[in-house]
Amino acid sequence: MELYIDTANLDEIKQAADLGVLDGVTTNPSLIAKEKYDYTKRLEEICAIVKGPVSAEVIATDYAGMMKEGRERAKIAPQIVVKLPSTVDGLKACKAFSDEGVRTNLTLVFQPLQAMMVAKAGAYLVSPFIGRLDDVAEDGMVLIQQIRTIYDNYGYKTKLLAASVRHLKHMTDCALAGADVATVPFSVIKQMMNHPLTDSGLKKFVEDYKKAFGG
Ligand code: G3P
């Protein structure tokens, strides 16, 4: 399973990249707004750190605007993936970019047919938002399972990227459901190697050894 970090914060990206197992980055307009920093410059800085796919979202919501902004974003670095909303205009832009050989990430997916349509249009990544479905008393994991089944039924090559991942249970469930990628906030990445029994077990190993041999 590929692991992306979901942030535009450079310090978090550096720390995650230092772990040696980071495959890519996703950003969105809200994450960029939090940084209060120029989007293009920040994308350049991110691409200097992470060589894997870096999703850069358009702000425009109409087809022509998405094509213009997407082309500008794609010029920033070869690893840029143009992130588009899963609307009718986004679908058309997805098809146009995929015909031009530009990779896309279709975001804000909340039902399985959006995922099927964008796969038909040649999306490189599809981003179902599991946490936000849970927030409105739906089950985000069901959407991941449905998309996995549809993509496997028809052999769609679009990578299933679980987004809006909020906690470790989401991560485990996504891995079990066969999500190709998960994009995860740094706060969750930091917890992924944690277990209290690992800490207490390690403490005891060291104490036992020192009792027997000193040091
Ligand atoms: O980047 C898109 C997605 O991961 C957002 O997550 O937590 O704002 O629902 P969240």
State mean pLDDT over 195-207: 98
Mutate to test the pocket of ligand 1, among 164, 170, 181, 188 (most ligand atoms within 8 A of CB): 164
Three-state DSSP state, 105: strand
Give me the sign of the Cα torsion angle 107, 8, 171, 165.
negative
Percentage of the chain exceeding pLDDT 90: 100
**Residues contacting ligand 1 via CB (< 6 Å):** 6, 26, 28, 129, 131-132, 163-164, 183
Tell me the pTM: 0.95
d(CA 165, ligand 1 centre) in Å: 7
Atom of ligand 1 lying closest to residue 31 CA: 1
Q: Find out whether 140 and 128 touch, Cβ atoms under 8 Å.
A: yes
State mean pLDDT over 85-105: 98
Give the confidence band of 90 by pLDDT, cuts at 50, 70, 90: very high
| Alpha helix segments (H runs only) across the chain | 10-18, 29-35, 39-49, 63-76, 88-100, 112-120, 130-135, 140-154, 168-177, 186-189, 196-213
Closest residue by CA, ligand 1 atom 6: 164
Residue 58 in this model has a pLDDT that exceeds 90: yes
pLDDT score of 199: 98
pLDDT score of 19: 97
State mean pLDDT over 155-172: 98
Residue type at 14 in one-letter notation: K
State mean pLDDT over 100-112: 98
pLDDT score of 10: 97
Q: What is the pLDDT of residues 24-52, one digit of tens each?
A: 999 999 999 999 999 999 999 999 999 99
Q: Find out whether 27 and 57 touch, Cβ atoms under 8 Å.
A: yes
pLDDT score of 59: 97
Closest residue by CA, ligand 1 atom 3: 164
Atom of ligand 1 lying closest to residue 132 CA: 9
State mean pLDDT over 88-102: 98
C-alpha neighbours within 13 Å on the C-beta side of residue 67:
12
Average pLDDT along the chain: 97
Atom of ligand 1 lying closest to residue 30 CA: 8
83 catalytically annotated? yes
State mean pLDDT over 188-193: 97
Residue type at 98 in one-letter notation: S
Q: Find out whether 109 and 128 touch, Cβ atoms under 8 Å.
A: yes
Give the confidence band of 215 by pLDDT, cuts at 50, 70, 90: confident
Long-range contact set of residues 47-50: C-beta below 8 Å, sequence gap at least 24? 47/76, 47/77, 47/79, 47/80, 49/10, 49/13, 49/14, 49/17, 50/13, 50/17, 50/22, 50/24, 50/25, 50/79
Instruction: Please pick, among 34, 41, 68, 83, the residue that the annotation labels catalytic.
Output: 83
